[in-house]
Amino acid sequence: MPSPIPVTRLLPKDIYPSLDIGICSSPLAKPSCGSTLQVPGQRFHRKTGTRLWSSVIHWEQLRSIESVGSGGFGSVYKADYFGKTVALKKVKKQTKNRLASRQSFWAELNAAHLRHTHVVRIIAATTCIPLECEDTNNIGMILMEYVGSRNLHQLIYECVEPLHEDRWLRYSVHIAHGLRFLHSHDIVHLDIKPANVLVSSEDLCKIADFGSSLKLERGCEVSACSTSVSHVGGTYTHRAPELLKGEAVSPTADIFSFGITMWQLITRKQPYTGDRQHVLYAVVAHNLRPCVQQPEFVSEQGQSSRSLLERCWSREASCRPTAQELVPSLEQLRSSL
């Protein structure tokens, strides 16, 4: 569960001019509209701004809502909010696993207090929805910056425009910078893949969709099998082998996923074919990885890229580079072009 987020960090003044400060409690309890709930074991005063976060959205200012896309845990819309274009994400209930959908909603807020060029900015979030807006299938809504309608998956597999070395390397550097920033704040994304990397009109990559993320305690390991992180998900083709085995979660799990994503940028192919269970077993038991015996990896530049990829998706998490180490390695590859 994320800690209470300072309201001044969650809601920038330029887009949220007036605030009705409230307190958020357990992610498993939906507050009634206008109510203020206490965080278990603590009492807060309205003036204690550094320990509060706002769950208020001015619904009357939300206009021109149009659908952009949908995923496993919700749907995303483009809207106008206080005269600015924003993205609105509705997190839906999972009829088979309501706990997972609630955990996904609260995991989205792990990065809500952070600001970085290569991370999608969260503006506000709430489980308190007016009756006229409420959908019985939604448990909450999140307002985010609107990056655009393109993601890397679309650019890789659905566009005819070329992805030359300079471009896929630049995208890789953007993702690595975003991961370095997240990991410096002890946040692991746990679902890095092309579909979760948005591309802006300025051709900047931004990491999105924190529904599988975790906030780690500094210096502590978290078991992927523990009750507190039972929602750890991610996409099986990009998931690190230690997570598939239920072992400890660490930032290097994101590095493994980054390696698969970078390989997709280079080759524009799917990492694996065949039955899902066969792939999962082969990744863990036989060290299955995407094929690097391809023309893209023949040149000197390609061989350097191959070496970096193999480090990223090493079987041993401790053998993978950190995001801090990954950035200069990628910058060196770019400088050799």
Q: Is 191 a catalytic residue?
A: yes
Return the residue matching tokens 């998931």: 239
Per DSSP, the residues of 115-181 read: -BTTBPPEEEEES---TTT--TTEEEEEEEE---SEEHHHHHHT--S---HHHHHHHHHHHHHHHHH
Q: Which residues, including other chains, have CB under 8 Å from residue 218's CB and lie 6 or more apart?
A: 186
89 is in an annotated binding site: yes
CA 276, 224, 214, 230 dihedral sign is: positive
Could you give the CA distance from residue 110 to residue 106 in angstroms, rounded to a whole number? 7
Structure letter (DSSP) for residue 299: S
Could you give the CA distance from residue 89 to residue 96 in angstroms, rounded to a whole number? 21
Could you give the CA distance from residue 110 to residue 112 in angstroms, rounded to a whole number? 6
Residue 196 CA: distances (Å) to CA of 88, 147, 189, 232: 16, 12, 10, 16
Is residue 242 classed as helix, strand or coil in its secondary structure? helix
Return the residue matching tokens 């579909």: 195
Is residue 256 classed as helix, strand or coil in its secondary structure? helix
Nearest to 179 by CA among 191, 170, 188, 168: 188
Q: In which element (H, E) is residue 307 found?
A: helix 300-312
**From 20, 135, 191, 275, the catalytic residue:** 191
Binding residue positions: 89
Binding residue positions for ATP: 89
Which positions are annotated as active-site residues? 191
